[in-house]
């Protein structure tokens, strides 16, 4: 017994005519007849007396039809509830944001969402990628704004924009006067990474062709936790950095950062939710708000090379060590 079969018998009761009922249900007349026969055989009751003109329900059939009408009303109520929830723009939502993006886009995003969805309340949590993935799977957060693809089949990803990486340089760097940055062999061992940002580090190492962080040398090893600290280290001549483009939007005039030639390396930034998340209208509003917050340089149609992180040997090993 299916919901559709019940809709067929209710339509037949209303029109008392196979052709009219079939047309109303957007099904062929033979198809409707077959479905009615299958239902009658399944429940062991003749629902309609086909010898009558017009068509007439049997005594037991009339009772089945009344119960079907009640069930269909409940089914329609469930459908209406789900549609309402999908389009609901009220309530509380917990949003997790990767720490390498949050400082540069959240202030603008929050202002935009106040206008777009004034009845929504957002709880915003800044975390690293590993924590965001765990929080999505446990339900601690509803939505994550993060680099993708994650490679997790239990999550749905809705890409928003591509963010290029740029080289952040000391003013005395050999490439400081060039229009574009080209990777220099001497920069590789000086690459500065972020503590516990395994996906971000994996992307930087991929761009530089490094297999592991042990290829980096030097007297000091730094546990840097923010891009701003990383940039200060570069300005002090203590390393080399690759940073996301949004992080250099408000740099002082003396700062030196250079884009790569096309196809430039980028990270894909997406809204990520559990596969059970159903509030599609909210995601559309968030996507639009984020896009409108971006500088025009990020909206240009350019050739990019998307840098993955979930299949990086460094990332896999780092996460394995973290779980031990």
CATH number where 223 lies: 3.40.190.10
Residue 90 φ then ψ, to 5°: -130, 165
What is residue 87's predicted lDDT score, i.e. its pLDDT? 67
Cα dist. 106→52, 151, 230, 246 in Å?
70, 25, 20, 11
Lowest-confidence region among 18-22, 25-29, 73-77, 107-111: 73-77
Q: How far apart are CA 130 and CA 319, in angstroms?
A: 8
Query: Do residues 199 and 315 touch, judged by C-beta distance below 8 A?
Result: yes
The mean per-residue pLDDT over the stretch 182-199 comes to 87
Instruction: Tell whether the model's pLDDT for residue 206 goes beyond 80.
Output: yes
Tell me, yes or no, whether 310 lies in a domain: no
Q: Are residues 175 and 259 in the same domain?
A: yes
Tell me, yes or no, whether 78 lies in a domain: yes
Q: Are residues 213 and 123 in the same domain?
A: no
Query: Do residues 164 and 156 touch, judged by C-beta distance below 8 A?
Result: no
How many domains in the chain?
3
The beta-strand segments (E) located in 131-284 are 143-148, 155-169, 241-244, 256-259, 264-274
> What phi-psi label fits residue 91: left (phi over 0), alpha (psi between -120 and 50 degrees) or beta?
left
SS3 of residue 147 by DSSP: strand
Q: Any alpha helices (H) in 1-53, and if so which ranges?
A: 3-15, 18-24, 29-43
DSSP 154: T
Q: Are residues 15 and 99 in the same domain?
A: no
Q: Are residues 217 and 254 in the same domain?
A: yes
Tell me, yes or no, whether 8 lies in a domain: yes
Tell me, yes or no, whether 76 lies in a domain: yes
For the chain, how big is the Rg over CA atoms in Å? Answer: 29
Per-residue pLDDT band at 323 (split at 50, 70, 90): very low
Q: Are residues 249 and 168 in the same domain?
A: yes
Tell me, yes or no, whether 142 lies in a domain: yes
Q: Percent of the chain, pLDDT > 90?
A: 39
Instruction: Tell whether the model's pLDDT for residue 19 goes beyond 70.
Output: yes
Higher pLDDT, 123 or 278: 123
**What does the block give as tokens for 252?**
């002082």
Domain, as residue range, for 112: 91-161+267-301
Last residue of a domain, one of 28, 58, 86: 86
Tell me, yes or no, whether 194 lies in a domain: yes
Last residue of a domain, one of 38, 68, 86: 86
Number of helical (H) and strand (E) elements in the chain, helices listed first: 10, 10
Last residue of a domain, one of 247, 265, 283: 265
What is residue 224's predicted lDDT score, i.e. its pLDDT? 79
Instruction: Tell whether the model's pLDDT for residue 217 goes beyond 60.
Output: no
Task: Please name the helix (run of DSSP H) or strand (run of DSSP E) that holds residue 315, with its range, or none.
Answer: helix 313-323
Q: Are residues 124 and 273 in the same domain?
A: yes
pTM for this prediction: 0.72
Q: Are residues 223 and 290 in the same domain?
A: no
Whose structure tokens read 């009751």? 45
pLDDT digits (tens, 9 = 90+) for 236-274: 988 899 999 999 998 888 889 999 998 999 999 999 999
pLDDT digits (tens, 9 = 90+) for 278-322: 888 899 999 999 999 999 988 887 788 888 766 666 566 655 554
Q: Are residues 74 and 209 in the same domain?
A: no
**What does the block give as tokens for 313?**
């040997």
List the Cα angle 218/223/224 in 5-degree steps. 105
Q: Are residues 272 and 132 in the same domain?
A: yes
Higher pLDDT, 86 or 244: 244
Tell me, yes or no, whether 309 lies in a domain: no
Q: Are residues 152 and 227 in the same domain?
A: no
Instruction: Tell whether the model's pLDDT for residue 163 goes beyond 90.
Output: yes
Per-residue pLDDT band at 107 (split at 50, 70, 90): very high
Tell me, yes or no, whether 312 lies in a domain: no
The mean per-residue pLDDT over the stretch 5-18 comes to 88
Determine how β-strand 91-98 pairs with β-strand 256-259.
Answer: unpaired
What's the CATH number where 61 sits? 1.10.10.10
Q: How far apart are CA 25 and CA 47, in angstroms?
A: 18
Q: Are residues 81 and 97 in the same domain?
A: no
Whether the CA torsion 211, 216, 221, 226 is positive or negative: it is: negative
Instruction: Tell whether the model's pLDDT for residue 188 goes beyond 80.
Output: yes
Instruction: Tell whether the model's pLDDT for residue 324 goes beyond 50.
Output: no
Q: Are residues 9 and 41 in the same domain?
A: yes
């Amino acid at each position: 017994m299916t919901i559709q079969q019940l809709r067929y018998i209710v339509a037949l009761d209303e029109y008392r005519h196979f052709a009219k009922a079939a047309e109303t249900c957007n099904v062929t007349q033979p198809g409707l007849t077959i479905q009615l026969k299958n239902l009658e055989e399944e429940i062991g009751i003749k629902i309609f007396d086909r010898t009558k003109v017009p068509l007439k329900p049997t005594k037991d059939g009339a009772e089945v039809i009344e119960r079907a009408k009640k069930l269909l009303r409940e089914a329609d109520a469930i459908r209406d509830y789900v549609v309402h929830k999908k389009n609901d723009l009220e309530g509380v939502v917990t949003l997790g944001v990767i720490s390498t993006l949050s400082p540069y886009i959240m202030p603008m995003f929050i202002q935009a969402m106040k206008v777009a969805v004034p009845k929504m309340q957002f709880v915003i949590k800044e975390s690293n990628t590993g924590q965001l993935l765990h929080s999505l799977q446990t339900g601690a957060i509803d939505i994550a704004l993060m680099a993708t693809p994650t490679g997790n089949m239990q999550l749905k990803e809705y890409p928003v924009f591509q963010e290029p990486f740029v080289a952040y340089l000391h003013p005395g760097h050999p490439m400081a006067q060039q229009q574009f940055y080209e990777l220099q062999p001497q920069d590789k061992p000086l690459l500065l990474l972020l503590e516990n940002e395994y996906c971000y580090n994996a992307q930087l190492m991929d761009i530089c062709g490094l297999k592991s962080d042990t290829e980096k040398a030097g007297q000091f090893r730094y546990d840097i936790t923010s891009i701003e600290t990383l940039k200060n280290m570069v300005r002090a001549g203590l390393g080399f950095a690759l940073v996301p483009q949004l992080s250099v939007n408000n740099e002082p005039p003396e700062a030196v950062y250079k884009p790569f030639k096309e196809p430039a390396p980028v990270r894909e930034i997406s809204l990520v939710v559990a596969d059970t998340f159903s509030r599609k209208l909210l995601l559309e509003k968030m996507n639009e708000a984020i896009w409108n917050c971006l500088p025009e340089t990020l909206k240009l149609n350019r050739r990019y090379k998307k840098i993955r992180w979930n299949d990086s040997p460094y990332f896999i090993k780092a996460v394995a060590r973290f779980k031990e």
